[in-house]
Amino acid sequence: MNDIWWQTAGEGNTHLVLLHGWGLNAEVWDCIVPQLSAHFTLHRVDLPGFGRSRGFGAMALEAMAERVLEKAPPKAIWLGWSLGGLVASQIALSAPERVEALVTVASSPCFAARDGWPGIKPEALAGFQRQLSEDFQKTVERFLALQTLGTESARQDARKLKSAVLALPMPPEAVLNGGLEILKTADLREPLRALEVPFLRIYGYLDGLVPRKIALLLDELWPNSRSLILDKAAHAPFVSHPEAFCETLLALKPQAKKSGPQPA
The residues carrying an active-site annotation are 82, 207, 235
Residue at 80: amino acid letter: G
How far from 212 is each of 201, 206, 222, 235, 257, CA to CA, in Å? Answer: 11, 8, 15, 10, 28
CA distance 78 to 260: 13
Q: What is the CA radius of gyration of the chain?
A: 17
CA distance 252 to 264: 8
∠126-205-237 over CA atoms, to 5°? 80
CB-based contact 210:183 (threshold 8 Å): no
Which residues partner with 25 through β-bridges? Answer: none
Q: Among 30, 80, 24, 29, which residue's Cα sits nearest to residue 53?
A: 24
CA distance 223 to 246: 24
3-state DSSP call for residue 208?
A: coil
CA distance 12 to 37: 7
Helical H segments across the chain, by residue range: 33-37, 61-70, 83-94, 122-146, 154-166, 173-185, 213-221, 237-240, 242-252
